[in-house]
Structure 1
Amino acid sequence: MVEAVSISVFQDTQHRKSKMGYEFFDSDVTWRLDNSVNLNWGRLPKSLNETFVNGYKKQMADYAEELSASTCGIIFEHILSILRTQEANELSLSVLQNYLSTLDNESEWKLGSIRAFLLNWIDKKIEGISPKIESWLEQITLKGMNKGVPVAKGCPHTGAYSMQEQEAILLWGVNAFIDDKLTLHDYTWLMLNIYLGARPTQFCQLQAGDLRVKSREGRTEYTLQLPYAKKRGVKNFRDSFKEVDIDEDLALLISNQAQATAKLIEKQVGNLTDRQQAEMPVFGAVNRIRGLSSKDELENLRLNTPDILHFPRGNADKILRNLTIICDARSERLKGEFIHLTARRFRYTLGTNAARRGLSPFVIAKILGHSDIQNVKVYTENVKELGEEINDALVAVLAPLAQAFAGTLILSEADAIRVNDPLSRIHNSHGDSLGNCGKYGFCSTGGRVCYTCAKFQPWVHGRHQVILNDLLEERKRLRDKGASSFVLQSTDRVMLAIQEVIILCEKAKRDEGLLDG
């Protein structure tokens, strides 16, 4: 009989809250994560290494705040099985390799199910696990997956985000910012990850003057001078840059965030010159800025320690982790599981999207800031599988899992936020009213895009099938004309959202007794 681990080894007790809102402490023997999942740490073998246990609990507590209770429960059971069957005192490289050798083709998924958990543990530099495990986990081939690293495998846990997942993250971010659930600082950081997929260090080093605005042939163009983080020969702070094109929306976010940081600095030292404003960080170290007392101190600090006022790299990973905790975007690939936000996966996605568009390895290497193409192959292999669009026949099945609809279903306009306001009504192509917009202010979109907006209030009795049919016909026309799956996927999320509304309406009508069960 395996003895239970002594709880006395656990240190640094911390109050936590699971994704479903259940509270627990790191030091508790049992963590209740939802109404059906408990993690009983007393089941761990007594012989475990103390450092491993402390690190394991920290990483699992993070995961409990970020992902569903069921996912945490599966990981806990599989790791417990590894520790018991291997009679191990920690999860070393040799232990994992030996465990894999005991699995047949039908059970290799068990190791795959904890891959993302272990890689995330290593990424955050939490104690208790060897960094040597990282390269092995990325290279192994498991049943049902193609050869190569998680990028090429299209791994739903550790690889690039699918087009549907990218849309889900983007739409969640936009809606959360509109509802004041995200600060300007965090929203800007999220958008930079989504659109640029650069390393956190590069975002930390950004300064206001890195944003460039040019007028060319009657149009305005925006570029960003992005500092290199891992370039041969670059040793000093902001020694080398690459220029990337960005759109007006992202440029406005960066500008507003830079201005917010500059105002915080000016509050401490007085007005800054144009030159000084251009040299101020986009993302600032707030506590250090609040410690400033004069312009002379500001100049001396920057002269001797040029990165002193920039957001610390060591805290950068916490931004995405905190966003993951509140993010309710879900993956249709993982049966509706919450999407895990990591800088690693955003970077994988940047390269994979470039490959999906058919760009050459040399162009992809330049986008990623690589000095050669030796590491680019993983982005260009198996992109067909990664680029498969949603089959129209699967929309009704995937819609509830993806939870693409972000608004609120209402019975009629009498329940709308902007009741009896004709300007708030949303219509389909036949002129039928579908619902109301709950936003007071100008919106240039309207129509089918509304289904992914948190302010949309569709009516239970609206003719939503008409707008879905129009979208399906448009996709068929594009497909017949030879449009790529990359183009077709641009409407996947909207299609899922419309179908989800149709399903919810049918349920509401059944509840009213207007439809047979």
Structure 2
Amino acid sequence: MLVRLRALLKFLIALDPAREISELTAADLQNYGASLPNHQQYFLRHVRSLLMEWAKTGVAGLSRDLMLLLPSLETKSHAIGAAVLTMDPERGPLTDLEYESVLAGLRQAFASGDMPIYDYALVVLAIALGCRAMQLAMMKVKDLSITERADGSKVYVLQVTRLKQGKNIRPRTLFKARELAPVVGALLEQQIGLVTKWAEKNGLIPIEAPLFPATMKALKSRRVMHPGLEGHHDGSSASSKIAKLLNGLRIVSVRTGKKMNLFQTRIRRTFGSRAAAEGLPATVIADLMDHSWLDSSLIYVEARPEIMERIDKAMALKVAPLAQAFSGTLVR
């Protein structure tokens, strides 16, 4: 809301640099709304919410005509899932062919030595879990547990911190356990070996060290976030790093004929779309993607028409015996 209010004030100053803004008026808000492109009209909704809270305080700065306008001002909501629903070639989910191209490029970069293991592990985990960049940034060595089955095979379980679960919830207080594929778990086990050496060199307790440090050479004070998260990336730097690594693969899209624009949110959207394509219900997708609202997950189920055929096939095995039983046919 603060960002949106600042945007409003910057807009007004650009209109009239000589103006001293001592009071906001209805015309100010209407002009700002008219200046916004269609896909950003929801910005006005945030400004309206803040100004209504301002008006309740009784503090000066809002004109009478503005206060009368606010309750009846019509605003648009943010269009949820537009990139997913339209399969946007620049921001939407990757097609199966694009996805396989990214994986092939990633494997090739690692096999040829162009991508070190700590970068490779970060990108592989980002793709495997489809989580947010901030969640990757907050992971610690101690979040990965490794146990052995009776046959000697290993089980890897990663505790992923939950985000966007409500107000006043501190980072790393809520977790969701995610079992990893053995090949991904083994990769993280190698990564932990490198991080342990880095932590000892930089005076950190190894189990408290970040799983993906902000640097493999030395701590940077500008990367420090909350107490206990020394050496971690912040969400922005983790997102930038993943985007840089993915775009460095220089994968060409079959849809556009150009180098793909890749970033973690797009990988996350691909994760959700692929889960829906496998016939998983919205409730399971919400659990996998750590969504607070089911509406965010329903987008993926509704996104692709061909998903329905796959869902039908997945459901047929469960529904067919029930249908036969109701029609009088004896089934096992």
| Shorter-chain TM-score range | 0.5 to 0.7
CA distance in 2, matches of 1:241, 1:184: 26
2:220–2:231 Cα contact (<8 Å) kept: no
Counterpart pick for 2:230 among 291, 308, 314? 308
Counterpart pick for 1:96 among 37, 55, 58? 37
**C-alpha displacement of 1:383:** 2.6
Secondary structure at the aligned position of 1:330 is classed as coil
Secondary structure at the aligned position of 1:371 is classed as coil
CA deviations on 1:222-256 (whole Å, 9 max, x unpaired) are 22111112222562231111011211221122222
**C-alpha displacement of 1:306:** 0.7
CA deviations on 1:266-304 (whole Å, 9 max, x unpaired) are 1243xx7xxx32221111133894479xxxxxxxx99x8
Q: 1:26 corresponds to which residue?
A: none
The two structures, once aligned, show a CA RMSD in angstroms of 3.8
Counterpart pick for 1:197 among 130, 134, 138? 130
CA distance in 2, matches of 1:363, 1:96: 35
**C-alpha displacement of 1:387:** 9.1
CA distance in 1, matches of 2:230, 2:131: 21
Q: 1:6 corresponds to which residue?
A: none
CA distance in 1, matches of 2:208, 2:78: 39
1:210–1:226 Cα contact (<8 Å) kept: yes
Q: Which residue identity does 2:109 align to in structure 1?
A: A
Q: Verify: 1:262 aligned to 2:196, yes or no.
A: yes
Counterpart pick for 2:294 among 348, 373, 381? 373
CA distance in 1, matches of 2:106, 2:42: 32
Q: 2:66 corresponds to which residue?
A: none
1:210–1:225 Cα contact (<8 Å) kept: yes
Distance 1:179 1:305, change over 3 A: same
Q: 1:214 corresponds to which residue?
A: 147
Q: 2:165 corresponds to which residue?
A: 231
Q: 2:209 corresponds to which residue?
A: 280
Distance 1:387 1:163, change over 3 A: farther
Q: 1:139 corresponds to which residue?
A: 79
Q: When the two structures are superposed, what TM-score results if normalisation uses the length of structure 1?
A: 0.43
**C-alpha displacement of 1:184:** 2.1
CA deviations on 1:454-494 (whole Å, 9 max, x unpaired) are xxxxxxxxxxxxxxxxxxxxxxxxxxxx799xxxxxxxxxx
CA deviations on 1:369-424 (whole Å, 9 max, x unpaired) are 123412221111033347999xxxxxxxxxxxxxxxxxxxxxxxxxxxxxxxxxxx
Q: Which residue identity does 1:313 align to in structure 2?
A: G
**C-alpha displacement of 1:215:** 2.9
Q: 1:418 corresponds to which residue?
A: none
**C-alpha displacement of 1:157:** 1.7
CA distance in 2, matches of 1:251, 1:233: 32
CA distance in 2, matches of 1:205, 1:328: 28
Task: Using CA pairs under 8 Å that are at least 6 residues apart, name the structure with larger relative contact order, 1 or 2.
Answer: 2
Secondary structure at the aligned position of 1:194 is classed as helix
Q: 2:268 corresponds to which residue?
A: 347
Q: 1:175 corresponds to which residue?
A: 108
1:265–1:290 Cα contact (<8 Å) kept: no
Secondary structure at the aligned position of 2:176 is classed as strand
Distance 1:179 1:137, change over 3 A: farther
2:121–2:191 Cα contact (<8 Å) kept: yes
1:138–1:150 Cα contact (<8 Å) kept: no
Q: 1:153 corresponds to which residue?
A: 86
Alignment of 1:369-448 (within 5 A): 369-385=290-306
- Uncovered stretches (5+) of structure 2, i.e. residues with no partner: 1-10, 15-31, 47-75, 316-332
CA distance in 2, matches of 1:50, 1:283: 43
**C-alpha displacement of 1:204:** 0.7
CA distance in 2, matches of 1:93, 1:206: 43
CA distance in 2, matches of 1:223, 1:247: 9
Q: 1:461 corresponds to which residue?
A: none
Counterpart pick for 1:326 among 248, 252, 272? 248
Alignment of 1:2-17 (within 5 A): none
Distance 1:310 1:291, change over 3 A: closer
Distance 1:291 1:316, change over 3 A: closer
Distance 1:233 1:316, change over 3 A: same
Alignment of 1:23-34 (within 5 A): none
- Uncovered stretches (5+) of structure 1, i.e. residues with no partner: 1-47, 52-90, 98-114, 116-128, 141-147, 293-300, 390-481, 485-517
CA distance in 2, matches of 1:386, 1:93: 39
Distance 1:137 1:185, change over 3 A: farther
